[in-house]
Structure 1
């Protein structure tokens, strides 16, 4: 299908309901939208990406974080500074308490959002999303590179911006307790 054919059927303004319908109709892509209305279309995660997310989730669960406070690839409502609402799908989210069933969850109780950087998402994961997550008040943001060490960079919210903290291989993180990183 051509871009012209797709564009002809695209709504003028895309809502979170539109994104939900797009994802239901297309299991081969992940759709997100910035609070300003910029649509992003990404291919599904690859094997290495999925294994990193699974290892991190297993670590959290084994450390006693309740399963209803951790989720992979769940939608978050990201409020914008101009009143718009975006929808982002972090690779992993940790909440301070269980959430109500919804496609797009609020960010109020999010303790940590994690993005595993894929070749096509590096700019989004290191520039756009950190700014949006910080603006939404998410206290911690981690990125994980798919390099040989699977390098984790941990950011903490300092006012309205993230400050880079520790950077270490994922294997090292998995040998610590989540409480050491503020995830109790």
Structure 2
């Protein structure tokens, strides 16, 4: 279905199939997402800085041994909700194992979600998605700001089902560490490929959330 057709025949209740069709039909790269309550949101395509941040994190994970099939950019994930649930398209996701071909993936193997803040998504990334991802049981959620330090706020899921801020660090500092330093490795800090991750020892962690 074309974007023009959606404009003329917008469904009363948007499903994940509708959402997938909207994303496919949009010629300008807008991102269509659906909250668990059924609220539709549309964000503009990412700019070059946004894309570069996501790519740097993807390369960081790949160098540490994570397979490309488990480090995915802009893939749809299902968010449970009272009326069938919603769908989000995070900037980067890390998975415990390769996922089957699908437009919307289940959350069972999801280890980490990363969102890079854009001018039109700041409140959603910092507040709305933080609540949604915690309620969905996603263990780790990182938000990358667009300040000069490109600060990464690392959230980890607490026993009460809400996120705690584990740390706030500059992106450049993070990229000097190993993913296993942030609980993103298997036993003994080894990534799925079996190799020890390259490790650099920064002097100290810039800041932590307390």
Q: TM-score by structure 1 length?
A: 0.94
Q: Deviations over 1:132-183 (max 9, x none)?
A: 1111111000000011110000000013110111101000000000001111
Tell me how far apart the structure 1 counterparts of residues 27 and 105 of structure 2 sit (CA, whole Å). Answer: 20
- The match for 1:148 is 148
Alignment CA distance shift 1:146-1:73 (3 Å): same
- The match for 1:47 is 48
1:116 aligns with 2:116: yes
Q: Deviations over 1:20-70 (max 9, x none)?
A: 111111032110000110000011000000000000000000011111111
Unaligned ranges ≥5, structure 1 = none
- The match for 1:58 is 59
1:30 aligns with 2:19: no
> How many residue pairs end up in the alignment?
179
Tell me how far apart the structure 2 counterparts of residues 148 and 124 of structure 1 sit (CA, whole Å). Answer: 21
Q: Secondary structure at the match of 1:120?
A: coil
RMSD of aligned alpha carbons: 1.3
| Rg (Cα) greater in structure | 2
Runs (4+) of structure 1 exceeding 6 A deviation are: none
Tell me how far apart the structure 1 counterparts of residues 88 and 101 of structure 2 sit (CA, whole Å). Answer: 17
Higher strand content, 1 or 2 = 1
Q: Deviations over 1:75-115 (max 9, x none)?
A: 000102x2431000000000111111100000111100000
Unaligned ranges ≥5, structure 2 = 186-210
Contact between 2:38 and 2:83, CA under 8 Å: does it hold in 1?
no
Q: TM-score by structure 2 length?
A: 0.82
